[in-house]
Amino acid sequence: MFGRLMPTEGKFFDLFNQHAEFCLKGAQEMLSLMRNFDDLDIRVHAIEQIEQQADKVTTETIELLHKTFITPLDREDIHKLITRMDDILDLMEDAAQTISLYDIKAITPEAVRLSELCLECVQKVQGAVRLIQDLDNAREIMKICEEIDGLESKADHVMRAAMSKLFRDEPDVKNLIKLKAIYEILETVTDRCEDVAKIIEGIVLENA
């Protein structure tokens, strides 16, 4: 739909898709990290590298926004979408670095489950981003956004249960503080995915 208007406009959607791909790679690395602590340093480094690549895409998008007279979407929506997507990877990098810096020796099943939900959310985000270039896909896009909202709610429930178990069963106060921080960062990843979904819903409602 929008891509037919001006050749330069399609570049924004290419950049959105590139960033979404980096988000997916980051989420996959995060889950691998959680499932296998043996290669922690390698996984942390990989996530840092992915985040740096995604930062370049964010910068390129914002620079293009300043150079483009007619944009395919509202300028504010473009800026909000790419920055909120960047927040997703920033948080995953924070989680990986926190695990490394806090010298966490073992991860819990609850942290693994939160990482799984992060990956599911990011997969949905990628699917929605891929479709926004053609708003004839409006119904499918809105369905995906609803699914992201449902996954965020699941993550919220998992975190609450994890916190309850942590405060009830963890005797080591230092370890409790470390794990609490990890739970909160991971749940916030799903919050940022929900933020992206809301931005995309707004784009659909404004332009469909």
Sorted by where each begins, the domain ranges of the chain are 2-207
pLDDT in tens, 185-202: 999 999 999 999 999 999
pLDDT in tens, 104-159: 888 999 999 999 999 999 999 999 999 999 989 999 999 999 999 999 999 999 99
Instruction: Reply yes or no on whether the pLDDT at 1 is more than 50.
Output: no
88-98 exposure pattern, b = at least 16 Cβ within 10 A, e = fewer: bbbbbbbbbeb
Could you tell me the pTM of the whole model?
A: 0.92
Superfamily of domain 2-207: Phosphate transport system protein phou homolog 2; domain 2 (1.20.58.220)
**Per-residue model confidence (pLDDT) at position 9:** 57
pLDDT in tens, 57-107: 999 999 999 888 889 899 999 999 999 999 999 999 999 999 999 988 889
Q: 109: burial class by Cβ within 10 Å (0-12, 13-18, 19+)?
A: exposed
